[in-house]
Structure 1
Amino acid sequence: MTAAAAVLLPIVAGVGVWALGGRVPLARRPRVVGGVAVLALAATLSLAVMAAFDGGQATLRWGAGLVLSLGAAGVAGVVAVLVPSVAIPVVAYAAVHEEAPGLPRLLGLLVVFVGVMELLVVAADLLSLLIAWELVAAVSWALIGFSWRQADDVSRAAHAFNATRAGSVGLFLAAGALLAGTGSLDYAAIGALERPLRDVVAAGVLVAAVSKSAQLPFSPWLFSAMAGPTPVSALLHSATMVAAGAYALIRLAEPLSSVDWFPPAVIAIGVTTALWGGVVALAETHGKRILAASTAAQYGLMFVAVGAGAAGAATAHLVTHAVFKSLLFLAVGVGLHATGTGDVRAWRLGLRLPRVAAACGIGALALAAVPPLGAAWSKEQIVAAAVHAGPAVGLLALLAGFLSAAYAGRLQLLAFGRGHGDDGRGHAGGTPAAEIAAVSVLAVASLLLGALWFPRARGWIEAVSDGGLFAGAVWETVVSVGLVAAGLAWARWGTREGCDGALMPAAVGRSAPGWFGITTASRRGLVDPLLVVAATLGRFDDAVVDGAVRAVMRAGRQASRVLAWWVERGADGVVVGLATATTWVAAASRIGDDRGV
């Protein structure tokens, strides 16, 4: 029952924050409303910890053989604890970073977001997963389109929503196939499913995961999601919606790995996105878009680990990525507020915001996978798994690591290095202490994750994830660290004094916002044809369906007129006949009376 409580508490609390927060005076909203939201998340974290240690499962019989099952054993418990842990500093940051009038709605939605993500994490059957999957998409749409008076933000929110919902069709097909084949929707039933229905489940889960985790060809929706406030981006990219796809693959990897085409497909999608997203991140100049592209790339590495049979490596990287990515987004949000522009080439805020720069530096080193940070350990485990899957996969994973170091170093040096954009006065300006505290807490957490390098951590990761870790050779670590150093050196060279940080040709930079044609191709190959089909169906509906309705309506009116005429003539005839008969009777009676008298 604690797993269910960890779901319900933030949902109820979030609704309450939104509904009642508007009654708090504007001046007190950051402290009061923000405090209530943080306390609700702290309570959620406590329940998640209890559920993880309890390991039990709660069920609710819906009817007609449908059962909702929730449990926080194994990797579910780890991620259930991770989500509110990351959300607490993000929400605390949002309470002082965003404007007070809209704070109740923003914080309420963020807390509800945590609740529906907790449902997704502790779901133990495809029906519960599907419900949570749709709720996560709906709440993320509301958060991305938070500034609903701006038409462009609403359009971008719709793009993100529709892109992820398109992949959700796969989850519906997977649930239908599982129910048809086994009569159950429980995860455990997947292993008993015969082919080809198991292929349908594997394909459906993969499509849903690819769209949710912004893997190619769905990656461009991440740029649209940048329309939301900075705290929304931080939570969405780190531990909630984008994490959902990778988490679903980790959770279902064991029963689906028996489908022969599934692991190679997961690896191919992941490694392609890791490389493609890395190049986009290197070419981008907007701070949030650099991080968005890096998000797709990092989840691509997690896909590689799952496909290679190392769910433990993917789990570890999911955790480390959640911490350093939320840190980086919050730090970039401070820079945006301080400069008024998202173009990091104009920042160089190292002296102006030294504490934020230091915290962001830790996050950037984690993104670059520099030892002894925990993210370096998780990435090395992915490299070991990739090499085990094949030399070509290992080489491409190493190349993705090189790109990660390059775009992480470039972001840090442009955003928080020293240079022409820094006034050199060494002050933090109007940056609230709560914002600095939030990024500092996440930076410390990222440092503490360096404990993953201890030998005992390896056994714990393997135990909670039910997935093996591959022992990497010494040469793999040497080559990997060497490529990281090369990537950082390349970034340093490209951001030296007098350079604008361009590591890619100008033509590549101009193509990066469109993901090198993916956005245009998806519009021409998918969106535009669907719009044509929709317009054609609309005309068909108007001409045939509505036309038939209108024809029936006209026929009804004509029949009504005919009946009205007939009734009118018939009724008038009866009245005239009765009147005539009465007149005749009256005349006959009068004649009879006259004669009698």
Structure 2
Amino acid sequence: MLWLIPLLPIVTGAVIAAMGDRSRRWLGTVAVMVLGATLCLTLLAAAQGWTATLIWSDAIRLSAELTPLSAAIALMVPTVALAVVFHATQHESPQGIGRLTGLMILFTGGMQLVVVAGDLLTLLIGWELIGACSWALIAHKWRAIENPRSGLYAFVVTRFGDLGLFAAAIALFAGTGSFDYAGIATLSGPLSFIVAYGILLSAASKAGQVPFAPWLFRAMAGPSSVSALLHAATLVAAGAYIIALLHPSLSVVPGWQATTIAIGLTTALAGGVTGVLQNHAKRLLAASTSAQMGFMFVAIGAGYPGVAALHLIVHATFKAPLFLVAGAAGDATGSYRLDRMRLGRIMPLIAGLAVIAAAGLAGLPLTGGGWSKEEIVKAAEHADFWLSIGVMIGGALSAAYATRFVLLAFGRRSEDDRDIAAPGWAETAGIAGLGALTLATGLLWVSPLSDALAAATGFTLPEGSTLGLVLSLICVAVGVASGIYVVRHNPALGRTGAAAAASDWLGLPTLITRGVVLPFDALARAAARFDDDILDAGPRSVAALARRGSMAIAAMDNQVVDKGVRATAAFGDWLARVADRFGEALSDGIPEGTAGITGMLGREARRLQSGLSHHYYAYIVCGIFAVVAILAAGA
């Protein structure tokens, strides 16, 4: 039964995508039904402890199970996806809406397979599925040539990271004879290093960590709903999830925890600076995703994977609505430039929902994002006090770019006479549902509730110092004040000049292009020239060999290869002549002959319809005598 959790959205999503476009109402209803059923199945599975195994061979099997950590993530994924996909059915362009909806549901099913997987082979199947879906969804508006290119860029970068997971699976099977997660803890020596660091490499690429972070900017070519699903509940979340799940087995490998912390903290700080400098609404949010995932990597490296999982869940509740409101603002103004928005007067309800979500991103007190961020600060403090200071600085940057985003996108102009329509209730419903979830996570500040949740899920919450909490809140306040200052004095920050150059991941894409792409391109061109030279030299070398007594090779080539090619060509020519002579007559003769026979039978049948009753009586009497004669002969 556990296989139904991923299979239901995978199969139905594929069917919906193949059916083509349908009405928004039909697609919205089906999406809610499928994802709602997936959520219900996940609840049953978590409550009843379902497991599943599919035996492929004596050595290979696929397994699925729900640990407390994976059960929490498995419940989060369809919950967030339901609101996001419903919004997509009501908001996105009607052209290709059926394919978009089906692929998003399929995407959700692939992520569910990643979550319930109990071994690396099953994980790889889901891992590859969400990678392929992300490419198709980013390139959804394929008529604009830049979108397929962006989808391909994101796919190639994450695929490079996937090599680590393949290497880990191979090493695990070589060392234990199976792909089960339990076997990771039994490895030692080089195989344990390959598994631990291979999984970390793959997780970092999926989660948009340095140096893979720039692919998230290219992924912004997809519709805003795709960005919301990708960043909040599926592909990017998969990276942080897998190392949190496997932390007990991976953390014993020397240097693994320190490397995880270094990757996470570097990304959190670089992503924070990039977010502050960005003038593109969706790219600002994409940079914030990398930074928030970096916080999770820090918590995992510090020894608190449960805290990272809780922040992953809370992050999904506020990041998804932020992308959806950014999409509404960008579609309304025709641009994602923050300095052109300020839609507070035109979209007051959307603006209010944006404030709720942005408060969570900023880590303000009494918000779920603030609670989980403070838990990460505590976890970092357990590892090293200076590490917690680094997380606090990252928190200040989060507060700054969250404040800048909400004030520029949904602040108020003194006078606003633009002819822009606010989103309707159907488009707003999904955002409102996510906003309600964001508000609900604020209850985690109530200690009995958060402690009960941690006990129920098996997570361990760290103890922190009062000094750490005070310093962290001061950093948040400084970040909010800095965001307000930037909006007032330089609202177009990042549009031009050095700030614009730095806003593209501090020049990391340029470094990748010059340090990786161009050298590989030059190497490929050199290989092509070398290949051409060898091919050109080939006939000359064969002739030289023939002159030196190797004529037998050429003769065999003429006798076997050339004759075979000529015979194939002759047979094809003969077959074409036969088809030309008889094929047309046969293809035309069958329908024409059938039509002639049918016409003849019709003409004969009309003769029987004379309209004279005594003729009909005679027919009946003759028929009776014929039946009696047949029966008598049979007797």
- TM-score where L is the length of structure 2: 0.83
CA contact (8 A) 1:345 1:500 kept: no
Partner Cα distance (1:129, 1:371) in 2: 37
SS at match of 2:412: coil
Which residue of the other structure, out of 342, 348, 354, is the alignment partner of 1:348? 342
CA distance in 2, matches of 1:248, 1:373: 26
Q: CA deviation at 1:501?
A: 2.3
Which of 48, 54, 72 is the matching residue for 1:54?
48
555, 558, 580: which one aligns with 1:559? 555
Partners of 2:539 and 2:324 in 1: how far apart? 56
Find 2:217's aligned residue among 223, 232, 241: 223
Relative to structure 2, which stretch is displaced further, 51-60 or 240-249?
51-60
2:425 to 411, 429, 433: 433
CA distance in 1, matches of 2:503, 2:392: 25
Give 1:546 deviation, angstroms: 9.0
CA contact (8 A) 1:354 1:428 kept: no
Which among 445, 449, 452 is matched to residue 453 of structure 1?
A: 445
**Distance in 2 (alpha carbons) for counterparts of 1:549 and 1:49:** 69
Q: Point out where structure 2 has 5 or more consecutive residues left out of the alignment.
A: 564-635
Q: Which residue is equivalent to 2:470?
A: 478
Q: Between 182-191 and 293-302, report the one with greater CA deviation.
A: 182-191
1:102-127 C-alpha deviation (Å, 9 max, x unpaired): 11100010000001110011111111
Q: Report the counterpart of residue 41 of structure 1 in structure 2.
A: 35
Contact 1:83 1:118 in 2 (8 A): yes
Q: Does the aligned pair in 2 maintain the 1:86–1:322 contact within 8 Å?
A: yes
Amino acid at match of 2:475: L
Which of the residues 407, 412, 418 maps onto 1:413? 407
1:572 is aligned to none
Measured after TM superposition, the shift of residue 504 of structure 1 is 7.4
Residues 330-378 of structure 1 show CA distances to partners (whole Å, capped at 9, x for unaligned) of 0111111211111111111111100000000001000001121111110
Residues 410, 542 of structure 1: CA spacing in aligned structure 2 closer, same or farther, 3 A cutoff? same
The one-letter amino acid of 2:416's match is D
Distance in structure 2 (CA, Å) of the matches to 1:136 and 1:556: 55
Does the 8 Å CA contact 1:17/1:36 hold for their aligned counterparts? no
Percent of aligned positions that are identical: 44
CA deviation after TM superposition for structure 1 residue 419, in Å: 2.4
How far, CA to CA, are the matches of 2:16 and 2:239 in structure 1? 28
Separation in structure 1 between the aligned mates of residue 187 and residue 493 of structure 2, nearest angstrom: 50
Relative distance call for 1:80 and 1:511 in structure 2 (3 A) is same
Match runs of 1:144-543 below 5 Å? 144-419=138-413, 423=416, 429-463=421-455, 466-496=458-488, 499-501=489-491, 507-543=497-533
Q: Match of 1:350, SS?
A: coil
Deviation at 1:493, TM superposition (A): 2.0
CA contact under 8 A between 1:352 and 1:424: conserved in structure 2? no
Structure-1 separation of matches of 2:362 and 2:558: 83
Deviation at 1:185, TM superposition (A): 1.0
Per-residue CA deviation, residues 85-112 of structure 1 (Å, 9 max, x unaligned), is 0111111111121122311100010000
Instruction: State the distance in 1 between where 2:28 and 2:91 align.
Output: 11
Tell me how far apart the structure 2 counterparts of residues 92 and 285 of structure 1 sit (CA, whole Å). 28
Letter of the structure 1 residue corresponding to residue 469 of structure 2: T
Partner of 1:590: none
1:368–1:537 CA distance, 2 compared to 1 (3 A): same
Superimposed CA distance per residue, residues 64-95 of structure 1 (whole angstroms, 9 cap, x where no aligned partner): 50111111221111111111101111111111
**428-437 or 43-52, which deviates more:** 428-437
Distance 2:558 2:177 in 1: 57
User: What is the one-letter code of the residue matched to 1:528?
Assistant: L
User: How far is the alpha carbon of 1:21 from its aligned partner?
Assistant: 4.0
**1:250 maps to amino acid:** A
What secondary structure sits across from 1:246 in the alignment?
A: helix
Could you give the per-residue CA deviations for residues 270-319 of structure 1, whole angstroms, max 9, x where no partner exists? Answer: 00100000000000001000000000000000000000011111011100
Q: Residue 550 and residue 328 in structure 1: after superposition, are their counterparts in 2 closer, same or farther (change >3 A)?
A: farther
Residues 551 and 273 of structure 1: CA distance in aligned 2, closer, same or farther (over 3 Å): same
Matches within 5 A, 1:91-170: 91-170=85-164
Q: Cα distance, 1:558 vs. partner?
A: 5.0
> In structure 2, do the counterparts of structure 1 residues 457 and 151 end up closer, same or farther at CA, with 3 Å as the change threshold?
same
User: How much does 1:130 deviate?
Assistant: 1.2
The range that moved more, 13-22 or 119-128, is 13-22
Instruction: Give 1:260 shift.
Output: 2.3
Q: Give, in whole Å, the separation in 2 of the partners of 1:53 and 1:316.
A: 19
Describe the SS at the equivalent of 1:260: coil
Q: 1:562 to 1:144 in 2, by over 3 A?
A: closer
Match of 1:12 in 2: 11
C-alpha contact (below 8 Å) 2:346/2:422 kept by paired residues: no
Q: Please give the per-residue CA displacement for 1:191-230, whole angstroms capped at 9, x wherever unaligned.
A: 1111221111111011001100010000000000000011
Aligned to 1:71: 65
Q: Deviations over 1:28-81 (max 9, x none)?
A: x11112221221111111111112222232111112501111112211111111
CA RMSD of aligned residues (A): 2.4
Letter in 2 for 1:475: L
Amino acid across the alignment from 1:126: L
**CA distance in 1: counterparts of 2:333 and 2:495, whole angstroms:** 26
Secondary structure of 1:140's match? helix
SS at match of 1:58: strand
Find runs of 4+ consecutive structure 1 residues off by over 6 angstroms: 503-506, 549-557
Q: 1:429 to 1:262 in 2, by over 3 A?
A: same
Supply the distance in 2 between the matched residues of 1:206 and 1:13 (Cα, whole angstroms). 32
Task: Pick closer, same or farther for the CA change 1:181–1:460 going to 2, 3 Å.
Answer: farther
SS in structure 1 of the partner of residue 54 of structure 2: strand
- Whether the 8 Å contact between 1:373 and 1:449 is mirrored in structure 2 is yes
Shift, 1:428, TM fit: 7.6
In structure 2, what is the Cα distance between the partners aligned to 1:552 and 1:90? Answer: 64
State the match for 2:602 in structure 1: none
Relative to 1, partners in 2 of residues 1:135 and 1:144: Cα closer, same or farther, differing over 3 Å?
same
Q: For residues 37 and 66 of structure 2, what CA distance do their matches in structure 1 show?
A: 16
Corresponding position of 2:633: none
Distance in 1 (alpha carbons) for counterparts of 2:272 and 2:497: 16
Residues 374 and 469, structure 2, Cα contact 8 Å, conserved in 1: yes
Cα offset, 1:505, TM superposition = 11
CA distance in 1: counterparts of 2:203 and 2:169, whole angstroms: 14
Secondary structure of 1:517's counterpart equals: helix
Matched residue type, 1:423: D
Amino acid in the other structure paired with 1:501: P
State the shift of 1:550 in Å.
10
Structure 1 residues 471, 33: closer, same or farther in 2, change over 3 A? same
Instruction: State the Cα deviation string for residues 565-586 of structure 1 (Å, max 9, x = none).
Output: xx9xxxxxxxxxxxxxxxxxxx
CA distance in 1 between counterparts of 2:542 and 2:70 reads 57
TM-superposed CA distance for 1:549, in Å, is 9.5
Q: How far apart, in 1, do the equivalents of 2:43 and 2:513 lie?
A: 44
How far does the alpha carbon of each residue in 1:363-396 deviate from its partner, in whole angstroms, 9 at most, with x for none?
Answer: 1000001121111110000000111111221110
| Change over 3 Å in CA distance of 1:119–1:540 after alignment to 2 | farther
Q: Distance in 1 between matches of 2:5 and 2:536?
A: 49
Summarize the Cα distance change of 1:465–1:211 in structure 2 as closer, same or farther, 3 Å threshold.
farther
Measured at CA, do residues 337 and 261 of structure 1 come closer, stay the same or move farther in structure 2, by a change above 3 Å? same
Q: CA offset at residue 437 of structure 1?
A: 1.4
